[in-house]
Structure 1
């Protein structure tokens, strides 16, 4: 991914988590990334109260939208443009979608994933995207193209998302639902003995609760460690995959946990190609989906001599990661 950043669909809570440190920040907006010269006609007829798709109407095609006419809807509105024949989406599923977003009173999209060639991944109902997305995507079939009209209170509200989204903006999205995967509550598999006393010990519970993570009071390893704690029989993770994970992250120095998805109860979606923490990326690639992995990343494979949101410089980081599924 270039310095031009993905546009702001995710919530600030999501980016405050470790995911915001490891991945190109998804909340930050770049006008260059979000602008587009594609303009839909403002005279095309409306479709069931939402702007018409004026070109690229088929699933998989980049659409163009007309400008909204009259007063925008005051409540969430969803049009099924074409219905797929895949499973019905439900809360807690990991989704992969393509989308184009435009303000009601505009003919210029503020963002779309079609031009990037990179679908967008989310966990439905986890609060990682604006409420209109969580509500509008639930109960739809995979393979469907839908159009969603989102009032301000289910979008970015009074604040908007400057410079691309004005305060109190009603938003319109065309969304292609590419994939939906049920996320398991925990890693499973064969327990792998943890016999090296110089390495952290990770719990082997499979009840969906955070595993214990105990760091020994010895010198930290100087090379990357990536060991199975629970080894499943799932597919091997590739560098091009997006994985859905639960994790506990701690400092080697004092064993203090500085982040955990279990605290919020919301797994994280990591597009591995976008991970900037090399130790975590290398530690996950080649491991099997459904497994629990211990990863120890020395400073050279972590944040080096930079302090990051309270993580001291030259820190060795320890992760207990459940690779729940991949997209």
Structure 2
């Protein structure tokens, strides 16, 4: 669903690193170092593995001295003994939600600090949750390994040796040396994969001249019934089918979404993330105008109906081989799983 020059299939979509990079600033203006530690790679199919390849030990990890509950911003003591040379992961709060597998996207809150000094170099608490793919090299190896097999709703504490963090070079901007062990407290808020769907509350569909969309929340592609004989809308339609309660999409957002697209006149599907079986982040500024305009203000957790007139879709020159006729009015359903 990118601009006209792009293919429609999800694997061809641009994959952008989500969250704050190491050159971002926190609200206080200090340098931060997010878990993003390598060049992004295309995510593989979800559920590829839930078994870490690195040996993991249970400790030691420093004591959490305040904010011990899930969802609370923690305060963590500095390490008082020598850290393990291996990845240490302690489950502080055991969740009961779905298990994270390789290729899954997770939404987390986290705090990161240096073992020896307890210096906090980055935190999402107070800034907003962070969503990323796990097990695909888009975050530092300690995260890729340490989050596999963990359940949503869990609070984890990780002690990550340099080899599984920022390596021998460290991260000078954030004050991390090449010998620093990193300590993270991570609250796993949610996880998403190719079987995920919106979870919002159904909104009455009262207009008989608009497509009727299914409200299932089982991860399956929702049904779409385009009314026979109804005139094609000449203006953009952007309406909730399920209304969520998460963060709102902005013009600069990247969204993690499930979607399908149909041609109004035929009802024929020309693209669907459900058929690909995997998710990809979609940068709003790179999408067709109907998506750019229609998704701003919509909340994560929602299913949205978009009907885009030709001028806000692909106009007279749709992508070659897409199955979209020239000057076609297009119908989309879009499940906004997360705002990245």
User: What TM-score do the two structures reach when normalised by structure 1?
Assistant: 0.55
Contact 2:142 2:165 in 1 (8 A): yes
CA contact (8 A) 1:34 1:112 kept: no
Indicate whether 1:183 and 2:178 are aligned: no
- Measured in 2, the distance between the counterparts of 1:111 and 1:19 equals 20
1:28 aligns with 2:23: yes
Q: Determine the C-alpha separation between the residues in 2 that align with 1:24 and 1:137.
A: 17
Structure 1 pair 323–147 and aligned structure 2 pair: CA distance change class (3 A): same
Alignment match, 2:281:
268
Aligned to 1:244: 256
Distance 1:224 1:158 in 2: 56
SS of 2:163 mapped into structure 1: helix
Distance in 2 separating the partners of 1:279 and 1:49: 52
Aligned counterparts of 2:168 and 2:63: Cα–Cα separation in 1: 26
State the partner residue of 1:101.
Answer: 112
Deviation of 1:240 after TM superposition, in Å, equals 2.9
Q: 1:235 aligns with which of 225, 242, 252?
A: 242
Q: Quick check: 1:167 aligned with 2:174?
A: no
Give unmatched runs, 5+ long, in structure 2. 1-13, 33-57, 197-218, 227-233, 250-254, 260-277, 313-330
Q: Is the 8 A contact 1:224 1:298 kept in 2?
A: no
2:92 to 81, 86, 106: 81
- Determine if contact 1:189/1:290 at 8 Å carries over to the other structure: no
Contact in 2 for aligned 1:102/1:110 (Cα 8 Å): yes
* CA-CA distance at 1:93 after TM superposition: 2.5
Partner residue in 2 for 1:125: 135
Equivalent position of 2:126 in the other structure: 115
Q: Output the CA distance in 1 between the equivalents of 2:257 and 2:155.
A: 27
Alignment CA distance shift 1:135-1:54 (3 Å): same
Q: Deviations over 1:91-136 (max 9, x none)?
A: 23222111110011222211111122x1111222232221211211
Give me the CA root mean square deviation: 5.0
Change (3 A) 1:52 1:321: farther
| CA drift at 1:179 | 1.6
Task: Give SS of 2:183's match.
Answer: strand
Query: Distance between the aligned counterparts of 2:310 and 2:76, measured in 1?
Result: 46
Query: 2: CA distance between counterparts of 1:147 and 1:56?
Result: 13
Structural mapping, 1:5-154, within 5 Å: 17=14, 19=16, 26-30=21-25, 32-34=28-30, 48-116=59-127, 118-154=128-164
Change (3 A) 1:66 1:235: same
Deviations 1:27-85 (A, max 9, x none): 4233744569xxxxxxxxxx941111111111111111111233322111100112122
**Contact 2:62-2:78 at 8 Å conserved across structures:** yes
- Quote how far apart the aligned CAs of 1:149 are: 1.0
Aligned length: 241
Question: For residues 62 and 166 of structure 2, what CA distance do their matches in structure 1 show?
Answer: 20
SS of 1:153's partner is helix
Query: Using a 3 Å threshold, how does the CA distance of structure 1 residues 126 and 27 change in structure 2: closer, same or farther?
Result: same
Q: Is the 8 A contact 2:257 2:282 kept in 1?
A: yes
Q: Which stretches in structure 1 are left out of the alignment for 5+ residues?
A: 1-16, 37-46, 194-222, 228-232, 248-264, 300-319
CA distance in structure 2 between the partners assigned to 1:192 and 1:130 by the alignment: 44
Query: Take 2:174 and 2:308, find their aligned partners in 1: how far apart are those partners?
Result: 39
